[in-house]
A = this chain, B = another copy of it.
Amino acid sequence: MAFTFINPDSLGAPRIIKHNLVAPKGKLLFIAGQIAWDQSQKIVSDDFVEQFDRALANVVTVLSAAGGQPEHIVRLVIYVTDKIEYRERTREVGERYRKHLGKHFPAMVLVQVAGLLDDAANVEIEGMAVLPA
């Protein structure tokens, strides 16, 4: 099951969140927005990087439960409440990213929203994956 990455030269070298891809036919997995909840649905930490880590871990938990692998993820939307925090800690965020998804970079969007439903959350990650049929 081969995904085709589409990163035209005219857009410059793809940064982490600027990849595009074509997915072959398959089953679509829709992952609800995940925040840094533990099993008791409490936010695990106030720290942005720790929350990013857990939210992404939760995305992978859903993916795995559906029989998918990180490389099946086609789209991630990252909603943050403080983009400065994200920017200042990009290196750490990148480490946590690779911990969960390796070097697979799907199409991403990152925007700063006015608020997340759980006041204690500072990041929420929604995902889609295309699983082998």
Residues of A within 8 A of B (CB): 4, 6-13, 15, 17-25, 27-34, 37-41, 58, 61-62, 64-66, 74-75, 77, 79, 81, 83, 86-87, 106-117, 124, 126, 128, 130-131, 133
Q: A83–B130 contact, CB under 8 A? A: no
Beyond the given A10-B61, A22-B28, A113-B113, please list 7 additional residue pairs across the A-B interface where CB-CB is below 8 A. A10-B39, A11-B58, A28-B130, A33-B111, A107-B126, A112-B113, A113-B114
Q: How far is the CB of A106 from chain B (nearest CB, A)?
A: 7
Task: Provide the bound-state CA to CA distance between A108 and B31, in Å.
Answer: 8
Given A27-B22, A30-B20, A109-B32, do A40 and B12 touch, yes or no (CB 8 Å)?
A: yes
Task: Provide the bound-state CA to CA distance between A62 and B14, in Å.
Answer: 12
Q: B12–A41 contact, CB under 8 A? A: yes
Q: In this complex, what residue of B is CB-closest to A108?
A: B32
Given A27-B24, A27-B25, A29-B21, do A8 and B61 touch, yes or no (CB 8 Å)?
A: yes
10 contacts between A and B (CB under 8 A): A8-B62, A20-B30, A22-B27, A30-B128, A33-B111, A79-B109, A86-B117, A110-B117, A111-B113, A113-B114
Given A4-B66, A115-B111, do A20 and B11 touch, yes or no (CB 8 Å)?
A: no
